[in-house]
Amino acid sequence: MDLMASLAIITPEIILTVTGLLLLLAAAWGGDRASRMISIAAAVSLGSAFAIVAPRVCAGAAGMDTMAFGDLFRADAFAGLAKLMIFAAAGATIVIAPRFFDRVANMRAEYPILVVFAALGMSIMVSATNLMTLYIGLELNSLAAYVLAAFLRDDERSSEAGLKYFVLGALASGILLFGMSLVYGFAGTTNFIGIAQAVKGDLSTGMLFGMIFMLAGLAFKISAAPFHMWTPDVYEGAPTPTTMFFASAPKVAAVALLARLMMEAFGTQIDAWRQVVIAAALLSIIIGALGAIGQSNVKRLLAFSSINNVGFILIGLAAATVAGISAMLVYLAIYVVMTVGSFVAVALMRDADGNPLEGISDLAGLSTTRPVLAAVMAMLMFSLAGIPPLFGFWGKFVVFQAVVEADMLALAAIGIAASVIGAFYYIKIVKVMYFDEPAGTVTGEGDTPHWALLGICAVIISPLGYILTPWLGNLADMAAASLMLPA
């Protein structure tokens, strides 16, 4: 494949790269006064990338025509569907950020630029078919994320969140790099398809260790137990728009990368990694559910909720079938909508002076003081719990259906039983809003972008969302089928 064909394949990434570099110059010249213009330009670039990727996903792009630069990068339907979720979540972050940072007079021009570069890194991650491409995308995303977590420099919690994320993220990157070096040493190649050829037959001890180390490093990135320890502190301390971003886009990117790595590079050794994925899935579901029960901060509760949901996503991967990958993608799409909606609702929790409120006690009696906000939050909580007829139920249903079809009935039974525990803390939020005496603290008004985003999320997770199931299921099936699985 010639250079021009490869450049055409990576057009979305080129748009984000050029936009990010130009906006850096604009920020240097215009300063923070240009932050609104830069935010608009960043959102437009993400929208343009979204528009370019969407037709590829709808066409089920697969095969040799999606490869670029000697199969270092693959823009197939699987990567495309993940990119659509990433770009949408990144755009939502940019939309709600100005109101949050304007409150503290700290809306800096660099914020949307960092989001664009993080999205670029994640876009490279999900298209990576080589260990070198994988690490470039991962680190580009991580470096931007460390700064985003500590963006409020005068806030101790934000600085602490950024430092914890940096230290533990560096540790996870080191573990991942060590695993990659072992895999390369025993396979003699960094290409996923080449690795798949090298691991056919018996898996050597060195290759097994390399695979496990890589699994551990990526488990940190998706905050899967037992590598979840950073999540509650970082989610609580980081600015709310950043927390929303962390809970959605990087999750999609890391899960998609993990699925491609396991299915393409180690697809002939499913039994070797499946038990690790199952253990991480069940631990995440249980720890996420139990950890959330005693929380008094909404953002910490949603952090444990994200750990819990990652467990259900990993169950789809554990099925190790095309149907399982498709179910995983469906769950991810619904999860992104629920997460964005939940954090937009949290961003609307303000007092009369516009200061953010994060305590669960602040939600007491919200149904009498802010009935619309309370109703949408209740829908979001019930949907996260997987209670029908809300759309969150469908995500859990397709995942467990895929596991049952893969003859893993015990895993499905344990997962369903564990999901009941998680319903407790979601229902607790609803109980506080509808049955406790009004606290009267959430009195601040929201702006149009917040309400528009919240309204879109509410419609999608409502029973009307089931209208999307044939379309979403078809896209997920084509995306899963586009993975180049080992023969």
The mean pLDDT of 415-425, rounded to a whole number, is 85
Using the CB atoms, write b or e for 85-123: b if 16+ within 10 Å: bbbbbbbbbbbbbbbbbeeeebbbbbbbbbbbbbbbbbb
The dihedral formed by the CA atoms of 479, 481, 486 and 487, expressed in degrees to the nearest 10: -170
pLDDT over 60 at 451, yes or no: yes
CA distance 73 to 70: 8
Per-residue confidence (pLDDT) for residue 282, from 0 to 100: 92
Tens digit of each residue's pLDDT (9 = 90 or more) over 387-406:
889 999 999 999 999 999 99
Per-residue confidence (pLDDT) for residue 105, from 0 to 100: 58
Tens digit of each residue's pLDDT (9 = 90 or more) over 37-57:
999 999 999 999 999 999 989
**Burial of 375 from C-beta contacts in 10 A (0-12 / 13-18 / 19+):** middle
pLDDT over 80 at 354, yes or no: no
Per-residue confidence (pLDDT) for residue 211, from 0 to 100: 93
The mean pLDDT of 210-231, rounded to a whole number, is 90
Say if CB 101 and CB 107 are below 8 A apart. yes
Question: Residues 6 or more apart from 324 whose CB is under 8 A from it?
Answer: 316, 317, 318, 399, 402, 403, 406
Per-residue confidence (pLDDT) for residue 157, from 0 to 100: 82
Kindly report the three-state secondary structure assignment for every residue of 273-312.
HHHHHHHHHHHHHHHHHHHHHCCCEHHHHHHHHHHHHHHH
DSSP 264: I
Q: Which amino acid is at 108?
A: R
Strand partners, 74: 67
Higher pLDDT, 108 or 473: 473
Structure tokens at 390: 């809300």
Tens digit of each residue's pLDDT (9 = 90 or more) over 243-260:
999 999 999 999 999 999
List phi, psi (to 5°) of 432.
Answer: -60, -40
**Burial of 84 from C-beta contacts in 10 A (0-12 / 13-18 / 19+):** buried
| End-to-end alpha carbon distance in the chain | 24
Averaged pLDDT of the chain: 90
Tens digit of each residue's pLDDT (9 = 90 or more) over 269-308:
888 899 999 999 999 999 998 888 888 889 999 999 999 9
Question: Residues 6 or more apart from 205 whose CB is under 8 A from it?
Answer: none
Per-residue confidence (pLDDT) for residue 125, from 0 to 100: 94
Structure tokens at 124: 């490279």
Per-residue confidence (pLDDT) for residue 64, from 0 to 100: 81
Alpha carbon 64 to its chain's center: 28
DSSP 265: I
Say if CB 440 and CB 365 are below 8 A apart. yes
pLDDT over 90 at 70, yes or no: no
CA distance 76 to 373: 39
What's the chain's Rg over C-alpha atoms? Answer: 21
List phi, psi (to 5°) of 388.
Answer: -70, 155
Biggest CA pair distance of the chain: 68
Domain ranges in the chain are: 3-481
Higher pLDDT, 421 or 196: 196
Per-residue confidence (pLDDT) for residue 216, from 0 to 100: 92
pLDDT over 90 at 475, yes or no: yes
Share of the chain above pLDDT 90, in %: 59
Higher pLDDT, 474 or 443: 474
Per-residue confidence (pLDDT) for residue 1, from 0 to 100: 55
Q: What angle do CA 472, 478, 479 make, to 5 degrees?
A: 85
Alpha carbon 91 to its chain's center: 13
Per-residue confidence (pLDDT) for residue 344, from 0 to 100: 93
